[in-house]
Chains A and B, each alone.
Chain A
Amino acid sequence: MQKFNKLQSIPAYLPIVNIDTDMIIPKQFLKTIKRTGLGKNLFFEMRYDDNGKEIQDFVLNNKPFNNSKILIAGNNFGCGSSREHAPWALLDFGITCVISSSYADIFYSNCFKNGILPIILEEEKIKELSEYSNRKEEISIDLNEQKIVYGNNEIKFNIDPFKKKCLLEGLDDIALSLEKSQQMDAFEKSLKEKKPWIFND
């Protein structure tokens, strides 16, 4: 997984609440067996018309937002299905940081598995930051310091220390868990005695 540390970009602002995973990446693109290549279909139905032409007033279709690495959006971002294709599509498009006032749980944890930082801020702050999108000015994110710098201001954000560490170091979850294989063996052994039916043998 790609490490995450600092990021600087003009943010793209999508002022819609409850952006669901079907909007982020519709199901016709879930038939892939790969993780890559989904960026061109990110927000497909808002981004293209019936003939496959780009819809001009959709933010990500316009310069400089077609190169944004930061997406600011309304609350409850990523609700709906568990599809990891949603963060894969964001990542493939180039977005590695999302800012919203709340996220759906599964989407939130999927971001961290893919080197995407989902930041939670109060609505007020989001409105303030969205001005930078309107004015096409860069903002910068510093994960280590847990702060967003914009103009002469900065805001701190909260993040779970363990998730932060994993992002900063680009750690592979599975390798980390496998370090606990002794505990796993012990757990399974006692489970076989306590609840033999679980293993059906």
Chain B
Amino acid sequence: MSTTLYDKIWNDHLVHQQEDGTSLLFVDRHLIHEVTSPQAFEGLRNANRKVRNPKLTLAVVDHNIPTTDRSKGIDDEDSRIQIETLDKNCKEFGVQLFGVDDKRQGIVHIVGPEQGFTQPGTVIVCGDSHTATHGAFGSLAFGIGTSEVEHVLATQTLVQKKAKNFRVNVNGKLAIGVTSKDVVLQIIGKIGTAGGTGYVIEYAGSLISDLSVENRMTICNMTIEGGARAGLIQPDQKIFDYLKGRPMSPKNENWDKALEYWKTLKTDDDAKFDKEINLTAEDIAPMVTWGTSPQDVASIDGKVPNPKNESDIDRRNSIDRSLQYMGLKADVALKDIKIDTVFIGSCTNGRIEDLREAAQILKDKKKATHVHAMVVPGSGLVKEQAEQEGLDKIFINSGFEWREPGCSMCLAMNADKLKPEERCASTSNRNFEGRQGRGGRTHLVSPGMAAAAAIAGNLDDVRKYQN
């Protein structure tokens, strides 16, 4: 029978299946971080259990870590305790950790691929919903809760039921200034935040194959914002080249064996999908969100919607509520929205190509004086690479702060947060109420659009700023 890429990976990881379809799935790679793991380790300890496969587990600190100078330790006591707890747990259970002082430290979904820990055809889980990022490598990667983290630690398996297959095809070429962030925002706008619930999405089409590995990660990353737990892309030569020689990639004859297997990872031509949509790349413009859900998205040429034009009452109420929270009036042009802050970073757009994209716009230009702007590289290695290329100088010259790696203002668990009513153009992935700080107002954009907004002092069209 013809199968999809998702079906293949699923079948290849079945340890046991009950009659009702409840399955025990083998987990090849488990990523953990300080926020969603302490209770899992505590559970293990209370039940006298061990980590079954410490070598298949990798830990980082990222969520609550400060992005300013960390040499003097961490002020916030709760954050410090959480980080120390992870350190202690990793030592006790024999798990490798990239701690605060490690150059390889960074956001879990940036570190995994960077180290070659992320590999095609694997099942990858992490107590974090953006685990879908790793699907860009043709792996089945999804977020889990803390009880499941404990389950994976103890058994190296996970209890799951199979999801349905959904394919999103994007064909054609993107216009200059339009990026994979705009593509994924467009997709979410189209399917809605619950459109993918119960599905695994495969992204396909000529545009997806044309994208770089890092740009593919941006798309898979935001799959969860469309409700699907995992999003994946068939691995190809670009992926194999990216992985070759990374510290945790297979070596020598293992590399050859792995490569042979990776090349078999594709959806059969006549495989059936339960749902399928098509997008044309040429139709996609730079996008920006205006509301408090990632589906509240419009092209930068557009306007804030008018709830009066909405016939569905729930939707009308929800637009009303969003506009009130966002402090926006209906029918205002998006380009007329003034911003206070720019945040470039996160597991969506904190990689080297994202920083290059923003720096290219900012080169020899200054941010607007009233704007507070910061760049938070996704990992220590991204930071180092950017500094070698002189990108840090470009950012600093245009008035940005150049920070240490971490999640930072993506979720504002550390000191980097918006004040009430502060408005931010952000390259992160969620514009929920309070996500970047209580009362803070988030507009999700691509790195280039964030740079354009910094220069203009309001949301603006990146296509005007091409250097």
Contacts and interface: CB of A to CB of B under 8 A. Distances in A.
Interface in A167-199: 173-174, 177-178, 180-181, 183-184, 187-188, 191, 195-199
Interface stretch (A20-28, A89-97, A141-149): A20-28
B145 A80 contact: no
A110 interface: yes
A102 B194 CA distance: 9
A197 B255 contact: yes
Most chain A beta carbons < 10 A, residue from B22, B148, B250: B148
Interface residues of A, number: 57
Interface in B304-319: 314, 318
Nearest to B44: A174
A32 interface: yes
Most chain B beta carbons < 10 A, residue from A18, A75, A113: A18
Given A18-B193, A26-B438, A33-B42, A174 B35 contact: no
B36 interface: yes
B49 A174 contact: yes
Given A174-B150, A174-B155, A184-B157, A33 B194 contact: no
Interface string B244-266: 00001010001101100100000
Contacts of A22: 430, 432-435
A196 to B, nearest CB: 6
Interface residues of B, number: 73
Interface stretch (B74-82, B201-209, B367-375, B454-462): B74-82
Contact of A80 (B129, B255, B261, B438): B129
A76 B227 contact: yes
A79 B227 contact: yes
A174 B255 contact: no
Given A106-B144, A113-B147, A199-B55, A180 B438 contact: no
Contacts of A162: 18, 20, 22
A177 to B, nearest CB: 5
B143 A82 contact: yes
B293 interface: yes
Interface in A1-56: 16-18, 20, 22-23, 26-28, 30-35, 45, 50
Contacts of B47: 174
A27 B413 contact: yes
B250 A82 contact: no
A34 B35 contact: no
B197 interface: yes
A82 B257 contact: no
Contacts of A35: 39
A104 B145 contact: no
B176 to A, nearest CB: 33
A197 B250 contact: yes
Most chain A beta carbons < 10 A, residue from B56, B255, B261, B293: B293
Interface string A60-90: 0000000000000011100111111001000
Most chain B beta carbons < 10 A, residue from A80, A180, A201: A80
Contacts of B127: 82, 84
B20 A45 contact: no
A154 interface: no
Interface string B66-85: 00000000001011011001
B318 A17 contact: yes
A188 to B, nearest CB: 8
B271 interface: no
Most chain B beta carbons < 10 A, residue from A16, A23, A184: A184
Interface string A138-163: 00000000000000000000001110
Contacts of B157: 177, 184
Nearest to A191: B26
Contacts of A196: 254, 257
A200 B119 CA distance: 12
Contact of A82 (B56, B145, B154): B145
A20 B432 contact: yes
B182 interface: no
B239 to A, nearest CB: 15
A122 interface: no
B127 to A, nearest CB: 6
Contacts of A110: 145, 147-148
A178 B155 contact: yes
B229 interface: yes
A170 B155 CA distance: 20
Contacts of A102: 194, 197
Given A113-B145, A173-B159, 12 more contacts: A16-B318, A18-B293, A23-B432, A33-B42, A33-B82, A76-B194, A82-B127, A102-B194, A105-B163, A177-B155, A183-B16, A199-B55
Interface of B: 15-16, 18, 20, 22, 24, 26, 28, 35-36, 38-39, 42, 47, 49, 52, 55-56, 63-64, 76, 78-79, 81-82, 85, 119, 122, 127-129, 143-148, 150-151, 154-157, 159, 161, 163, 193-194, 197-198, 227, 229, 248, 250, 254-255, 257-258, 261, 293, 314, 318, 321, 411-413, 420, 430, 432-435, 438
Interface of A: 16-18, 20, 22-23, 26-28, 30-35, 45, 50, 74-76, 79-84, 87, 102-106, 109-110, 113-114, 160-162, 173-174, 177-178, 180-181, 183-184, 187-188, 191, 195-201
Listed from nearest, the 6 A-B pairs whose CB atoms lie closest are A197-B250, A113-B147, A31-B78, A33-B38, A110-B145, A82-B143
29 contacts: A17-B314, A20-B433, A22-B432, A26-B434, A31-B64, A33-B39, A33-B81, A76-B194, A81-B143, A82-B129, A83-B145, A102-B197, A103-B197, A104-B197, A106-B143, A106-B229, A110-B148, A160-B161, A174-B49, A177-B24, A177-B157, A177-B159, A180-B16, A180-B24, A184-B15, A184-B156, A188-B26, A188-B156, A198-B122
